[in-house]
Structure 1
Amino acid sequence: MTEPPSPTVGAEQTVTVVGADEQAAVDVDVDRWSGLATRVLEAEGRRGELTLTFIERDEMAALNAEHMGKSGPTDVLSFPLDDDTDADALAGADVPVLLGDVVICPAVAAEQAADHAGTLDDELALLVVHGILHVLGHDHAEPAETAEMRAAELAHLERFHWGGPAPTAFRQEHDS
């Protein structure tokens, strides 16, 4: 897969999503999920480059341990890079704004889909949107933040994934 050139700030910067499937457990349509990521970033008014990578369980477990201090694989991790302050500082430079990385484990998504989003397709869509919102600074540590983030997730999914209201089986929260 040939990576597209990085956008530059000097020109009217666009959204570039570099997607990669580095796992074999679940068939993943990288172009489809990269397209969803692009539409969400554009709707959020953001420009720059984001990577979207699908990885194996063991790789996700290692990232989860290293960055979150938790054992075992998780479904999605987000790694923001250039924040709004960085983007403003780079506005006159001829360098790309690097939004960050979203890493998804399709094997974990497949395991939790029936009890979470309802289908694997909807689970992957939710994870893509959820990961991007984290890269853009959203969080769900407090109830008000959770409500705001879930509302944004649902709005993006209804607009760009389903093209209408969420299916009745769709759920954003996990049973814990």
Structure 2
Amino acid sequence: MPADVLVDIQIASESSELPSQADLHKWAAAAIGDHRQEAEISLRIVDLKEGAELNQQWRQKEGPTNVLSFPSDLPEELNLPLLGDLVICSPVVEREAREQNKTLQAHWAHMMVHGTLHLLGYDHIEEDEALTMESLETAILQSLGFPDPYQLEKRGS
């Protein structure tokens, strides 16, 4: 685990089913692992309207998505721990958990790990990148006591 992980959490969602700040921090720290000695993430939890606006503005895609990642673009010589910003859309996470027959806690953990890995530079555009990222996500989530988040897709369900 990194020596020091800070997750600055902003809640702009009316959801009553949000994970605890301690869990969000634990999941981010697990994803960071040995990648960094210090890390700082800004996390904003939003509802559908803001999620859709941000997805349109930054990805030119209509409607909200589960997680948006904005890696910091600081020059290396600054040597600051800022990894970047995450935006998670609570209603999308809740809907996906139901659709995928996952616990809400497991899906929140997955979204936090997934977004944090994006901040660390992982991606899933190319198939080999996707396999690497999915394997890492699975290992991290299983180390936290959660099942393989891709289990249903691997079975073809």
Q: CA RMSD in A?
A: 2.5
Partner in structure 1 of residue 11 of structure 2: 21
Q: Deviations over 1:142-169 (max 9, x none)?
A: 1100000000101111112x17xx2699
Alignment pair present for 1:76 and 2:89 = no
**Contact persistence 2:44–2:87 (CA under 8 A):** yes
Partner in structure 2 of residue 67 of structure 1: 58
- CA shift, 1:14, in A, is 2.5
Give the whole-Å Cα distance in 1 for the aligned partners of 2:101 and 2:37: 26
Alignment pair present for 1:105 and 2:96 = no
Give the whole-Å Cα distance in 1 for the aligned partners of 2:14 and 2:152: 26
* Percent identity of paired positions between Structure 1 and Structure 2: 31
State the TM-score, normalizing by the size of structure 2. 0.84
State the TM-score, normalizing by the size of structure 1. 0.76
Greater C-alpha Rg: 1
Unaligned runs of 5+ in 1: 1-12
What SS is found at the alignment partner of 1:157?
helix
Partner in structure 2 of residue 3 of structure 1: none
**Contact persistence 1:116–1:170 (CA under 8 A):** no
Give the whole-Å Cα distance in 1 for the aligned partners of 2:149 and 2:127: 23
Aligned residues: 152
The one-letter code matched in structure 1 to 2:65 is T
Q: Deviations over 1:74-100 (max 9, x none)?
A: 1100000046xx33x124xxxx33110
